[in-house]
């Protein structure tokens, strides 16, 4: 079925989470009809209220508290709405936790995706955009940014769930005509909506660099731990490719429109193509918030590598996607969100 703003609903799984909620906002502002499912295991409903305000909606965003493990509840949602396509964010995503609880990660992420694909098949919905990750690439840096054709290989159960889910979707596309699927491999998402009313709301002490830095900036945490100062990079700290969450959200809508062209199975990296070190990120955030962010120099974090950079050429050439927001804006927006919502959505 062609994807357009009037062709049916877009089901967004994990749509109350960080990237999902920003994508729901962009979808709605671009005229798509959206229905959100989420089990609220790592989020709350408040982002939907913020979306309604920002988009000037007079009605609530359709939302169903559904766990992807519950096939019947999922079926009910497909019965109630004429769904044309799915943007699938719902997953557990903490790398360290996945090492402690691998089975929970396989059950939630992989079995959840199988259920979703089954129900999509039952209801003849065969368009899916999937949240994948740069973590699926083999963790070595050979001096070149990563292309979609780079060798794959994961070092954590979380990463393997992403790779297995990609493969499950690929096999379904290969087995039956009519499926269209786009895998989006994100690099390091950060930032927040420019209004400062939506952003990332970690439920625990953040694992990722930028939410940690912003919680130090607001005084909730004492000091940033810089993991490793002896990497082969310009200042010895790790280099990553950070991408603004609103750029990422816009890329999903571009991908969704592309599904209508019936290209089967495609993979795109989403990053900027430029890298920043940990110290550069801390300094950029210090500038954005106008205060010195304290940090300590600590040993390497196990499993980390020097540099992970995106080659964004395919997304630019095929999707026409390039990032529009720079590091300064990422930090300014992140700080605006953190400052006006010191305790996230429960502020
Ligand atoms: P998030 O935790 O904020 O959002 C995920 C949402 O999915 C949450 O609201 C959670 O409650 C929901 N969820 C989890 N399991 C579910 C289930 N079984 N049924 C229904 N809902 C469920 O995470 P995010 O940062 O917005 O990430 C979104 C997606 O992007 C994830 O698939 C993640 O693996 C992927 N990704 C994230 C990053 C990142 O750094 N944030 C990088 C690459 C890929
Ligand atoms: C970035 C840099 C750290 C925290 C992870 C996942 C990946 C993907 C994105 C989902 C590294 C350093 C970090 C801190 C630090 N997620 N750092 N102090 O490791 O590139 O990727 O998130 O798919 O799968 O692995 O991101 O933000 O954790 O780290 O010095 O407190 O910051 O060593 O160099 P990473 P990150």
Say if residue 3's pLDDT is above 80: no
pLDDT digits 0-9 by tens, 205-236: 999 999 999 999 999 999 999 999 999 999 99
List the catalytic residue out of 9, 106, 158, 231: 158
Helix or strand or coil: residue 310?
strand
Kindly state if the Cβ of 145 falls inside 6 Å of ligand 2: no
Q: Which residue has the higher pLDDT, 155 or 55?
A: 55
Rounded Cα gap, residues 10 and 34, in angstroms: 5
Rounded Cα gap, residues 59 and 227, in angstroms: 46
Confirm whether 212 is a catalytic residue. no
Question: Whole-prediction pTM value?
Answer: 0.98
- For 242, left (φ over 0), alpha (ψ -120 to 50), or beta? beta
Say if residue 103's pLDDT is above 90: yes
**Nearest CA owner, ligand 1 atom 33:** 93
pLDDT digits 0-9 by tens, 237-268: 999 999 999 999 999 999 999 999 988 999 99
State residue 223's pLDDT score. 98
Kindly state if the Cβ of 108 falls inside 6 Å of ligand 1: yes
State residue 2's pLDDT score. 45
Q: What is the ipTM of this complex?
A: 0.99
Q: Which residue has the higher pLDDT, 241 or 4?
A: 241
């Amino acid at each position: 079925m062609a994807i357009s703003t009037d062709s049916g609903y877009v089901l967004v799984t994990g749509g109350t989470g960080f990237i999902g909620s920003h994508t729901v906002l962009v979808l709605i502002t671009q005229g798509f009809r959206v229905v959100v499912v989420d089990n609220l295991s790592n989020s709350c409903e408040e982002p939907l209220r913020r979306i309604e305000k920002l988009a000037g909606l007079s009605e609530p965003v359709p939302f169903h508290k559904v766990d992807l493990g519950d096939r019947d509840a999922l079926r009910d949602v497909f019965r109630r709405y004429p769904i044309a396509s799915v943007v699938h964010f719902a997953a557990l995503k903490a790398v360290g936790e996945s090492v402690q609880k691998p089975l929970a990660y396989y059950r939630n992420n992989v079995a959840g995706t199988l259920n979703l694909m089954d129900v999509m098949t039952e209801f003849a919905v065969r368009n899916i955009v999937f949240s994948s990750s740069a973590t699926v690439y083999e963790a070595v840096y050979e001096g070149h940014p990563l292309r979609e054709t780079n060798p794959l290989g994961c070092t954590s159960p979380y990463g393997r769930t992403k790779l297995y889910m990609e493969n499950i979707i690929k096999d379904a596309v290969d087995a039956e005509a009519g499926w269209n699927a786009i895998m989006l491999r994100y690099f390091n998402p950060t930032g927040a909506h420019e209004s400062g009313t939506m952003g990332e709301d970690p439920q625990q002490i953040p694992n990722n660099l930028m939410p940690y830095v912003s919680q130090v900036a607001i005084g909730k945490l004492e000091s940033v731990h810089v993991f490793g100062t002896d990497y082969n990079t310009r200042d010895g700290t790790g280099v990553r490719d950070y991408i603004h969450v609103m750029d990422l959200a816009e890329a999903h809508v571009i991908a969704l429109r592309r599904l209508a062209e019936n290209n089967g199975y495609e993979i795109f990296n989403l990053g900027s193509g430029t890298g920043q070190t940990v110290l550069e990120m801390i300094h950029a955030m210090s500038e954005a918030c106008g205060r010195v962010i304290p940090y300590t120099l600590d040993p390497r974090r196990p499993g980390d590598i020097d540099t992970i950079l995106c080659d964004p050429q395919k997304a630019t050439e095929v999707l026409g996607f390039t990032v529009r927001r720079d590091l300064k804006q990422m930090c300014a927006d992140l700080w605006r969100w953190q400052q006006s919502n010191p305790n996230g959505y429960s502020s």
